[in-house]
Amino acid sequence: MPPSIPTGCWKAACEWTTRVITTKERVLAWSVHLFTSLGLVAAAGIAVLIVRGGDEAFRWAFGLMWVATIIDAVDGTFARMARVKSVLPGFDGRRLDDIIDFQTYTSLPLLLVWRAGILPGWWASLLLAPLVASAFGFSQSDAKTADGYFLGFPSYWNIVAFYLYFGEAPLWLAAAVLVTLAVLTFVPTRYLYTTQPGRLNRITNLLAAPWACLLIGVLVADADSRRMLTLVSSYFPAFYLAASWWVTLRHRSDVKFCETTYTSGTEIP
């Protein structure tokens, strides 16, 4: 027995590694993966609605995008509760999650932008920028920082598409937003990861509750009301971006302070 490991901890580790996984635990773990795969069902529905086209179909498509987002937001909690990594070590739930997320957060929202004619003609080629940027973002091993932030603009193209469509953004603004956010994917800026602990994340989640209600209002409102509701709801993405950039500036300031302090040999009080 290694002397550095306390006897109680060593015994508990041995008991866990030799314990037989029960059928109930396996069923529960597979149920979590099945729940995650419901996002793929939502993706299929979104694709059908986008191909169908028209305002009603697009509104339903955005509704299914929010359903997929809710699934993505809670399946991680379920996975930890069911200890899926330990119970089913041969199945990579994170890879399944990434496959679904790339469709529901990136490729399908961008397809909707094209299908809705937000970028007509050759302007549609600009959609390749966020598509490729998102693929690189999903492939980064350091896409999430050790202190609980996204590094680079996270692929929230479903939200971008929502505001471009319902906000009736002019061509120049839509093109500028898509290209700018695609570039920001590669800029090492911290963005809030709201399922992580922290006061700022808690505030963000509180602000997200009325925002979600406004989004539902946009989807069901008539054409005369939904543009105003879209404008009002934009407080949340504005806050999210501002808070994220503030976190980045504060982090860089702290790093610069530490580097200056250690370089000059001054003691930190």
Q: What is the pLDDT of residues 119-145, one digit of tens each?
A: 999 999 999 999 999 999 888 877 788
C-beta atoms surrounding 62 within 10 Å: 23
Per CATH, the architecture of 22-264 is what? Up-down Bundle (1.20)
- Specify the pTM: 0.83
pLDDT class for 266, splitting at 50, 70, 90? low
Give pLDDT tens digits for 4-55.
Answer: 555 555 554 444 455 678 888 888 888 888 999 999 999 999 999 999 999 9
State the Cα–Cα distance between residues 239 and 245, nearest whole angstrom: 10
pLDDT of residue 88: 84
Residues 139-156 have pLDDT tens digits of 887 778 877 788 889 999
pLDDT value, residue 80: 87
The domain limits of the chain are: 22-264
Share of the chain above pLDDT 90, in %: 54
SS (H, E, C) the chain: CCCCCCHHHHHHHHHHHHCCCCHHHHHHHHHHHHHHHHHHHHHHHHHHHHHHCCHHHHHHHHHHHHHHHHHHHHHHHHHHHHCHHHHCCCCCHHHHHHHHHHHHHHHHHHHHHHHCCCCCHHHHHHHHHHHHHHHHHHHCCCCECCCCEEECCCCCHHHHHHHHHHCCCCHHHHHHHHHHHHHHCCCCCEEECCCCCCHHHHHHHHHHHHHHHHHHHHHHCCHHHHHHHHHHHCHHHHHHHHHHHHHHHHHHHHHHHHHHHHHHCCCCC
Q: Is the per-residue pLDDT at 209 higher than 70?
A: yes
Indicate the average pLDDT of the chain. Answer: 86
CA distance 171 to 88: 48
Q: Greater confidence, 206 or 90?
A: 206
pLDDT at 224: 81
Q: Dihedral, CA atoms, 204, 206, 210, 212, nearest 10 degrees?
A: 60
> pLDDT tens across 87-115, in order?
888 888 888 888 999 999 999 999 999 99
pLDDT for 249 equals 87
